Structure 1
């Protein structure tokens, strides 16, 4: 079905057509209402223009983090640009950014919370590009975070859609130029205090130069391949979890002869369902040792317990169990 809005015309330049084709391809898998997360930057502006041309009744959601002088004016300009590009509505969402985890992480949480609250039944399209995907994969590799980080961002992770993961950032900038619209450049995007900025400005260009180009595309392909493999392993882990117990405890016997990679995925899923948060690779491997390297060792503490307690995984009578251990407090 052709979802394009009749009468909404954009210049047919190579950059604009590439962005439109990416959005059109993504929309084949989504038939519901659409919102666009618009920052006023080139990526989200190009995405907004393409979405307004390809989908009916697009709403723009503009988050004002209030972190910089003049942020309200930037948000208002972005909202005006959205309606000029054909969005049926543009709403500015003003948020308060906390401090937990650093400014970047706190701003991300505030942004996504606001978008989630405002979206209604709409999928929210986000302007992450191939360059963003390559940066995410490199950051995951540097942290040794395993395949979940290397898998990068998914094109669809309900309610978030990312149609531009195959489009270079240079294309979105060119598309904005072809449209004659001025994109806002967030000062944080050129601040070398952020690791991602240095990856963008120094590391990726160097890799492209040393390796003869195509690095971002190769990292994007790697992310896709790892994500597809991970989806298969995750499905197997769900089945194995049901076989091993899926409740408050797990059968050691069922898990003993399972390949460690699949066993750890199953344990991770079980722990998350039992309240664990922020599991590290070290913690997960220590829990796995309660099965694969059992020597009568004690329990393994993982994060996720209430204040004053810790969540501990132990082995009891051939089963893995979770328990809360409360620390002693001196109230005097």
Structure 2
């Protein structure tokens, strides 16, 4: 609550200042929605948005997503709607979603939630949706990415802004935000799932981070979040380089892309044959299935990249180019893993006559005449 002439509680002031900075990036008069679960982080965010929007000329509303995973979830969602309306947010609504099973319970709930938020933002024509992720959430995300052996993009954590989504609280820790929530006179709901050790993120929060703090000293979460910011800068630069490299390596549409009718590729010469060491073939690569032989006059030409241009790139850039080309050919990003990209990379850097590489989504990569081609696999060979 406010403290007379002294001003608001310092924790409240910090949260409001973070929201104020985000609103400066959005045109006055535009609608800004807050995604509010009823937990301390999102409730504090909702309270700060209501306060700041009234002073900045923005319209402010709120959305709560009912995942339907716990008894009484509809009643809790209705309570969150009443709280948001009491703060002066308008429009406010609860959206019920059906959570699937793809990718596990955490991923499925997240997918359902973001789909609901995107639909709500489109329905209300909102310019932005504010999310209550904190510095601690960022640290947990980095540790989870590290445990999975993910690359720089995953270790870079969550961005402050992505499309219509904004994360104003990403530089503030969870304890401060909870103090702000209570100082605003708001009563948060503590989701029991946030204490369930069945979830990897809960184990990181409850067990891993406290050990790191005890053994390595305080502020480990802040250090991890700072590392994520630096890695995001690096990843952004590499991604921009990869975009340019992809354009430069792409063979123009309509250029000839010869194909062998048999399973054995013609011998390669020149710069593509001399790069890299022998790479071990995966079981699928070792199968030696023939390259697709459909009539090129009726089949859509595969996309093609010049091997020489790829071979000159640093690996960090080249693998990004290969990933983009695979996704453009139809390979689903969610199932396209590092092992697939490594196998495709071996066609460039460790070429010893490998037949092809099969990627998720029935996409095949093969090498012919100093070109790396991406096209559909034949269903009979998958």
Structure 2 match to 1:313:
365
**Structure 2 counterparts to residues 241-260 of structure 1, below 5 A:** 241-245=246-250, 248-260=303-315
TM-score for both structures, normalised by structure 1: 0.92
What runs of 5+ residues in structure 2 fail to find an aligned partner?
A: 1-6, 254-302
Q: Work out whether 1:273 is the aligned partner of 2:328.
A: yes
Q: Which residue of 2 aligns with 1:290?
A: 347
Could you say which structure has the larger radius of gyration? 2
Shift of residue 301, structure 1, vs aligned partner: 1.0
Alignment correspondent of 1:50: 48
**1:38 counterpart = 2:93:** no
Q: Are 1:49 and 1:86, in contact at CA under 8 Å, matched by a contact in 2?
A: no
TM-score, with length taken from structure 2: 0.80
Of 92, 95, 100, which residue of structure 2 is paired with 1:93?
95
Instruction: Determine whether 1:233 maps to 2:231.
Output: no
Superimposed CA distance per residue, residues 124-174 of structure 1 (whole angstroms, 9 cap, x where no aligned partner): 111000000000000000000111110000000112111111011111211
Displacement of 1:326: 2.7
SS in 2 for 1:46: helix
CA distance in 2, matches of 1:201, 1:188: 12
Q: Name the Cα RMSD after superposition.
A: 1.7
Greater alpha carbon shift after TM alignment, 243-252 vs 221-230:
243-252
SS of 1:328's equivalent in the other structure is: helix
State the Cα distance separating 1:198 from its structure 2 match.
1.0
- Structure 1: runs of 5+ lacking an equivalent: 1-10, 305-309
What is the Cα deviation at residue 26 of structure 1?
A: 2.0
Counterpart of 1:151? 156
In structure 1, which of residues 195, 199, 207 is the aligned counterpart of residue 200 of structure 2? Answer: 195
Distance 1:328 1:281 in 2: 25
Alignment match of 1:302 (pick from 351, 354, 359): 359
Corresponding residue of 1:211: 216
* 1:233-281: CA deviation from partner (whole Å, max 9, x where unpaired): 1111111111111761111121111111111111111111111122211
Contact 2:142 2:228 (8 Å CA) reproduced: yes
Alignment of 1:99-138 (within 5 A): 99-120=101-122, 121-122=125-126, 123-138=128-143
Could you give the per-residue CA deviations for residues 291-322 of structure 1, whole angstroms, max 9, x where no partner exists? 11111112111112xxxxx2110101111112
- Residue 296 of structure 1 aligns to a residue whose secondary structure is coil
Q: Aligned residue for 1:141?
A: 146
Counterpart Cα distance in 2 of 1:62 and 1:26: 20
Whole-Å separation in 1 of the counterparts to 2:76 and 2:144? 29
Moved more, 220-229 or 83-92: 83-92
Contact 2:194 2:202 in 1 (8 A): yes
Q: CA deviation at 1:199?
A: 0.7
Question: In 2 relative to 1, CA 273–327 (structure 1 residues): closer, same or farther, beyond 3 Å?
Answer: closer
- Provide the aligned length of Structure 1 versus Structure 2: 316
**Is 1:322 paired with 2:377?**
no
How far apart are the structure 1 equivalents of 2:40 and 2:218? 23
Supply the distance in 1 between the matched residues of 2:103 and 2:157 (Cα, whole angstroms).
21
- Per the alignment, in what secondary structure is the counterpart of residue 58 of structure 1? strand
Q: Is the 8 A contact 2:32 2:59 kept in 1?
A: yes
Question: Does the 8 Å CA contact 2:329/2:363 hold for their aligned counterparts?
Answer: no
- Give the distance between the partners of 1:221 and 1:99, measured in 2 at CA: 33
Which deviates further from its counterpart, 216-225 or 32-41? 32-41
Shift in Å, 1:218: 0.4
Aligned residue in 1 for 2:10:
14
CA–CA separation in structure 1 for the residues paired with 2:378 and 2:359: 13
SS at match of 1:183: coil
In 1: Cα distance, 2:351 partner to 2:25 partner? 47
Contact 2:358 2:377 in 1 (8 A): no
CA distance in 2: counterparts of 1:230 and 1:255, whole angstroms: 19
**Hey, what does 2:84 align to over in structure 1?**
82
